[in-house]
């Protein structure tokens, strides 16, 4: 199933808004692989329309060769149904429902993880979705919004949509991405869930995945987010520096083609990639990337950082690596 012999369950790529778009997904798939399915970052309705940018991202023509699970984020049932309709027209029969986004402007509008504190709203949303034919649902959620046991009120409601699985990040929405993962509540949820459960949280290496599977043998799958964004080759044993250069080239080519705001926008976008990509990059190399103003300057700075990729990928602090030659 996976290129790593000890991983016998699917490995899914988590959606990261602003990072794991179609360009990133295709590059990760073509160069490194190891991902069984990719979740698209959530789509939403704005000004009574499904955002065009979101529709473009999941356009099957821009996602060839990958298994893609589109995701919707909504509080209002009519908004959810608009997105589902658009996705069905593109041929999708499997849609994920976002009950996990912790970003306050979203969660405070009772969307994403915010909805976990309002079971009545979740119920209304599920009732509307249950009227749709020909779609299988999954849910990506947290333990709760402001309490770590709010999942207990949500779980029984899932019977309305009978999800194929639920992916759980063991934090509350209020915690955002900080603080301890709540192992105790995750275990309680795993034991109580009649739906197959996917674990999602802080998996950064193949070893992390193996340990998690060993610890929770009933998991249906694992999902990797920031670990894979940091090291898109994390699932590919034997990935070489040339692979990382090729991955980066594919990003540059893809964004050159897809962004149409000129060179400055392209450079800003490429610089943004380094907020999550190769966080072990030496400070001075990272600074050169941030300071670049033209595509040429950016390419030179990125080439220097990529020449040092093995250093960036080793977990050792910079000083310890000074004598290491690659």
Ligand X SMILES: Cc1cc2nc3c(=O)[nH]c(=O)nc-3n(C[C@H](O)[C@H](O)[C@H](O)COP(=O)(O)O)c2cc1C
Interaction site with ligand X (CB under 6 A): 14-18, 41-42, 71, 98, 100-101, 140, 169, 177, 200-203, 224-227
Tell me how far, at minimum, the Cβ of 103 lies from ligand X, in Å: 8
Closest CB 235 distance from ligand X, rounded Å: 13
Give the residue with the Cβ less far from ligand X, 42 or 151. 42
User: For ligand X, which is the closer residue by CB, 100 or 280?
Assistant: 100
Smallest gap from residue 42 Cβ to ligand X (A): 4
Q: Are strands 136-144 and 166-172 parallel, antiparallel or unpaired?
A: parallel
Of 201 and 280, the one with the shorter C-beta distance to ligand X is 201
Residue number, 229 or 288, with CB nearest to ligand X = 229
Shortest CB 170 distance to ligand X, Å: 9
**What is the widest separation between alpha-carbon atoms in the chain?**
63
CA 259/CA 255 separation, integer angstroms: 5
Q: How far is CA 88 from CA 37, 95, 128, 134, in A?
A: 18, 9, 15, 9
Closest residue to ligand X, based on beta-carbon distance = 225
Least Å distance between CB 223 and ligand X? 7
Which tokens hold the place of 148? 């770590």
Residue 220 to residue 216: CA distance in whole angstroms: 10
Half-sphere exposure for 91 (CA within 13 Å, toward CB): 7
Report the helix count and the strand count for the chain, using DSSP H and E: 14, 11
Helix (H) or strand (E) holding 267: helix 262-273
User: Please, what is the minimum distance in Å from the beta carbon of residue 99 to ligand X?
Assistant: 9
CB-based contacts of 26, cutoff 8 Å, min separation 6: 62, 63, 64, 65, 66, 250, 254
Of residues 196 and 241, the one with the C-beta less far from ligand X = 196
141 versus 288: smaller Cβ distance to ligand X: 141
């Amino acid at each position: 199933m996976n290129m790593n012999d000890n991983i016998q369950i699917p490995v899914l790529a988590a959606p990261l808004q602003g990072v794991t778009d179609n360009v990133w997904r295709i590059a990760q798939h073509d160069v490194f692989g190891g991902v069984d399915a990719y979740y698209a970052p959530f789509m939403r309705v704005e000004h009574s329309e499904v955002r065009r940018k979101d529709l473009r991202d999941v356009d099957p023509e821009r996602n060839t060769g990958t298994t893609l699970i589109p995701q919707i984020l909504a509080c209002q049932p009519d908004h959810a149904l608009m997105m589902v309709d658009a996705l069905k027209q593109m041929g999708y029969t499997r849609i994920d429902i976002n009950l996990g986004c912790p970003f306050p402007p979203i969660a405070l509008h009772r969307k994403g993880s915010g909805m976990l504190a309002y079971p009545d709203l979740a119920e209304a949303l599920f009732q509307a979705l249950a009227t749709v034919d020909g779609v299988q649902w999954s849910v990506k959620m947290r333990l709760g919004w402001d309490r770590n046991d709010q999942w207990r009120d949500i779980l029984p409601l899932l019977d309305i949509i009978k999800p194929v699985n639920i992916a759980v990040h063991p934090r509350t929405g209020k915690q955002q991405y900080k603080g301890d993962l709540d192992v105790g509540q995750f275990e309680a949820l795993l034991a109580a869930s009649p739906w197959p459960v996917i674990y999602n949280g802080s998996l950064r290496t193949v070893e992390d995945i193996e340990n998690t599977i060993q610890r929770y043998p009933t998991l249906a799958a694992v999902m990797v987010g920031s670990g894979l964004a940091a090291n898109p080759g994390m699932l590919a044993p034997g990935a070489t520096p040339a692979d990382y250069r090729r991955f980066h080239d594919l990003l540059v080519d893809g964004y050159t083609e897809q962004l149409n705001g000129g060179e400055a926008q392209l450079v800003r976008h490429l610089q943004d990639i380094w907020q999550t990509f190769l966080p072990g990059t030496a400070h001075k190399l990272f600074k050169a990337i941030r300071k670049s103003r033209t595509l040429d300057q950016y390419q030179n700075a990125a080439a220097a950082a990529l020449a040092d990729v093995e250093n960036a990928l080793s977990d050792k602090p910079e000083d310890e690596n000074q004598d290491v030659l690659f």
